[in-house]
Chain A
Amino acid sequence: MGDMNIQAIEQYRSDFLKEVEERVEEGHWVKMCMQCGVCSGSCPFGPHWAHPPQEIFMMIRAGKREEVLSSDSMWMCTSCYNCVVRCPRQLPITQIMHGLATYAHRLGLAPRNQPTRDFSILFWENCTKTGRVNELKLTLGVYFREGLMAGIKKAWNMRNIGFGLLLTKRLNPFELFKGHACKDQKGIHAMLKKAQEIEARRHKLPA
């Protein structure tokens, strides 16, 4: 991870905009932003964004690489698409936020213990393992990410919810052992591996 970051710094020198354009999903749109600020007023978790989207776009152009990539802000995106339907320049802002967060994670620059980062990774691993989400393991994974005691506490706090879902047949305790699954898991794993290889090539990531 660290190596990948050093490699990127060397390759792009101080041209962070170029780095974003080449390596971040939909990054080539960043230069189209006209700084109107509409997106920044659209985020549901607005007050919790240290740098709202408009500011992030400005910072990218100003070359503030460390500040952007180590920011907590992109991880506040709820994928609500408010910004996308309002942006006068039609930037795919949601994808850019996700793309920046993903890139920061891959370089090892994303904030440690960022809960949405952890959940995102957990979700991906969970759903690609068998091809389908195991909701029980996903939920337990969230509760126990900060260790055993914290997990027990969280699970205890949420016990009414879990119990309610159980009673209404919306949570299956046996998913711990055997959950829903696709038949061709081998095929799914092979195609995803291939997709990752191709993506690395396209985004000019070192092999």
Chain B
Amino acid sequence: MAKKEYAFYPGCSSQLKASASNYLVSVNAMCKTLDVKLTTIPDWNCCGASISYAGAGELPRHVLNARNFALSEQHLPGQDIVATCAACWLGARETKEKLDASSQLLADTNEALKAAGLHYEGKAEIRHMVAVLIEDFGYAELGKPVVKPLEGLKFAGYVGCQTNRPFGIAGESFENPMYLDKLVETVGAEALTQYDQKVTCCGGALAFSETEKAMKQIKDIVESAYDHGADMIVTPCPLCQANVEVYQSEINKTHSTKFAMPVTYYSQLMTVAYGGTPKEAGLDGHIIKPTKLQEIAVKVVPKR
């Protein structure tokens, strides 16, 4: 397989000792196997996420994203920008589409960027890691490096909102996207395709400000995974991961439930299936341990 290169936008939650640091660890391991080279955009800044709107306003938000694009164009010309976080990707894509569509907005953005000594040409493409996997590799290719099929494991594929709407993955429906289930099957596990909370909102950033309301959403998401017989939930979104994992203990307190459903990333499944260690798969980064995945990860397989 020829080496593929991308400009990488890690986003704040992926940084060392941040809430999704184990996502990045597993992405790195997965990319190593797939011979993907991710070069981090030098001095990248926060995308602003969706929630900063009241402080940000419109143009400052676009300018924040455009700074990353400009840096990428300057230092990593010709490479697509890849983001792993749903919110980063969405924010960046939105900015890209707005600037593409309006010469006025583009001119305003560049006027502001000039104050930081930068200029945005409008060339860089913004893609989510999942789109890269599906479009630049494809399921068959992604299945080739599997040395430890995750046989017997049942996953509820929780896609959530922002990897799915409004842009989503090309060729997928908004109400019932199949790609996560297909990725699960690609690594030899069972996808619970009837899982009905697949695209339910976890509350997003409002889990911070409206915790009770978000916990109701999260309760539905976890409960349905149990009802369908899931061993684990898998998701492509760091905020979904954090919300759905972290609030289970609180829900147990208020609702006398006994939730302990691990919530993993697709990249962790792939890393383990590709023969990665628990550490390489970031399995040490969970409050609710994905024990069954861990068991497979420590198993020794004969070299092929």
Query: Which residue of the partner chain A has the closest CB to B220?
Result: A44
Interface centre among A94, A127, A183, A196 (most CB of B within 10 A): A127
Of B73-81, B280-288, B296-304, the one with at least 4 CB within 8 A of chain A: B280-288
Does the CB pair A120–B21 fall under 8 Å? no
Check A85–B174 contact: CB distance below 8 A: yes
**Is A67 in contact with chain B by the CB < 8 A criterion?**
no
Contact call A44/B209, Cβ cutoff below 8 A: no
Closest to A79 in B: B50
Q: Are B45 and A131 in contact (CB under 8 A)?
A: yes
Q: Is the CB of B18 within 8 A of A135?
A: yes
**Docked-complex contact B54 and A44, CB < 8 angstroms:** no
> Across the two chains, which residue of chain B brings its CB closest to A115?
B209
A73, B64: Cα distance in complex, Å = 27
Question: Does any Cβ of A come within 8 Å of B161's Cβ?
Answer: yes
Size of the B side of the interface (Cβ < 8 Å), in residues, is 65
Q: Name the B residues within 8 Å of A153 (CB-CB).
A: none
Flag B269-297 by CB within 8 Å of A: 1 or 0 each: 00000000000000011110000000000
Q: Which of A4-12, A32-40, A52-60, A166-174 contacts B (4 or more CB under 8 A)?
A: A166-174
Closest to B15 in A: A180
**A170/B206 contact (C-beta < 8 A), A48-B213, A183-B43 known:** no
26 contacts between A and B (CB under 8 A): A25-B58, A45-B213, A86-B174, A101-B53, A116-B206, A117-B54, A123-B49, A124-B48, A127-B12, A127-B52, A133-B49, A158-B250, A161-B247, A161-B250, A164-B246, A168-B287, A172-B17, A182-B45, A183-B43, A187-B118, A194-B111, A194-B115, A195-B59, A195-B60, A195-B62, A195-B109
Q: List residues of A whose CB falls within 8 A of some B CB.
A: 25, 44-45, 48, 76, 78-82, 84-86, 94, 98-99, 101-102, 105, 110, 115-121, 123-125, 127-128, 131-133, 135, 139, 142, 158, 160-161, 164-165, 168-172, 175, 180, 182-184, 187-188, 190-196, 198-199, 202
Known: A45-B210, A124-B55, A171-B18. 12 other contacts (CB 8 A): A45-B203, A76-B206, A79-B162, A98-B50, A118-B209, A142-B209, A161-B249, A164-B249, A165-B19, A169-B17, A171-B17, A188-B116
